Amino acid sequence: GENVEQHPSTLSVQEGDSAVIKCTYSDSASNYFPWYKQELGKGPQLIIDIRSNVGEKKDQRIAVTLNKTAKHFSLHITETQPEDSAVYFCAATRGSSNTGKLIFGQGTTLQVKP
Amino acid sequence: DTGVSQNPRHKITKRGQNVTFRCDPISEHNRLYWYRQTLGQGPEFLTYFQNEAQLEKSRLLSDRFSAERPKGSFSTLEIQRTEQGDSAMYLCASSLGQGVSSYNEQFFGPGTRLTVL
């Protein structure tokens, strides 16, 4: 069935360093890949997304890359700050399907040390 | 506040009781989703509405679960005869779908945390 694998499960970096989180997906029909940030006690917040017709997208300190052939995509955070500490989730979906349900990865707990 | 809202934010109940949660999506969003999230896991899809029609239900949604979106606006999720395994965060998301070829930016509410004793 549809599956998204996410690595690493935990990531600790020093403030100012870069962080990279990687995901692989199984459904080759997936064509929309959002990333969410979830803080304790809150719902997931959409931070960036990428569609299958592009290979890379950047928004200030955050970038996402997509390799459709290998079926993997990655989140890159540069110049990390303590407020980046949170749980990050990748997801995949068939945007052109009737439902658009998201299949989530297991999450990565990012800790940015001051 | 024009985001997705959910009520209540927390619910503690005894095993065997019924509970109902409410979700108010972003205005004019025609698509509404329910997900369940257990500790340390990503959200898992439960069910999907397009306007008032429930178009997909996950295998996770046993017959004790029922969801409605009677007027295509707010939605309710009811769990009957709750079990301890139902303890989780129940998340609602909404999006503006514009046809089968549309992408699907989903915006989540804060969730309802259910604890079944």
Model confidence pLDDT, tens digit, residues A73-99: 999 999 999 999 999 999 999 865 668
Establish, for the pair of chains A and B, how many residue pairs have beta carbons separated by less than 8 Å.
78
Query: With an 8 Å Cβ cutoff, is A97 touching chain B?
Result: yes
pLDDT score of A2 more than 90: no
B85 is written with which tokens? 């395994």
Q: Are A101 and B43 an interchain contact pair (Cβ–Cβ within 8 Å)? A: no
A18 is written with which tokens? 């870069």
Query: With an 8 Å Cβ cutoff, is B95 touching chain A?
Result: yes
Q: Which residues of A touch B110 (CB under 8 A)?
A: 41-43
Give the model's confidence band at B28: pLDDT under 50 very low, under 70 low, under 90 confident, else very high: confident
Q: In sequence order, which residues have a C-beta less than 8 Å from that of residue B106 and are 6 or more positions away?
A: A34, A46, A100, A102, B31, B33, B93, B94, B95
C-alpha span between A95 and A8 (Å, rounded)? 26
C-alpha span between B38 and B89 (Å, rounded)? 6
Q: Which residues of B touch A95 (CB under 8 A)?
A: 101-104
Instruction: Please give the helix or strand (H or E) that residue B53 lies within, else none.
Output: strand B53-57
C-alpha span between A53 and B30 (Å, rounded)? 25
Q: What is the pLDDT of residue A68?
A: 93
Instruction: Please give the helix or strand (H or E) that residue A108 lies within, else none.
Output: strand A108-113
Strand, helix or coil for residue B24: strand
Q: What is the mean pLDDT of residues B25-54?
A: 94
Give the model's confidence band at B115: pLDDT under 50 very low, under 70 low, under 90 confident, else very high: very high
C-alpha span between A38 and A62 (Å, rounded)? 15
Q: What is the mean pLDDT of residues B24-52?
A: 94
C-alpha span between A64 and A51 (Å, rounded)? 10
Q: Are A101 and B33 an interchain contact pair (Cβ–Cβ within 8 Å)? A: yes
> Could you report the per-residue pLDDT of A10-38, keeping only the tens digit for each?
999 999 999 999 999 999 989 899 999 99
Q: What is the mean pLDDT of residues B50-68?
A: 92
pLDDT score of B1 more than 60: no
Q: What is the pLDDT of residue A53?
A: 83
pLDDT score of A43 more than 60: yes
C-alpha span between A110 and A23 (Å, rounded)? 15
Angle at A21 between CA A16 and CA A25, to 5 degrees: 165
Q: What is the pLDDT of residue B96?
A: 87
Query: With an 8 Å Cβ cutoff, is B83 touching chain A?
Result: no
> Could you report the per-residue pLDDT of B79-96, keeping only the tens digit for each?
999 999 999 999 999 998
Give the model's confidence band at A54: pLDDT under 50 very low, under 70 low, under 90 confident, else very high: confident
Of B42, B93, B110, the CB nearest to A105: B42
Q: Which residues of B touch A54 (CB under 8 A)?
A: none
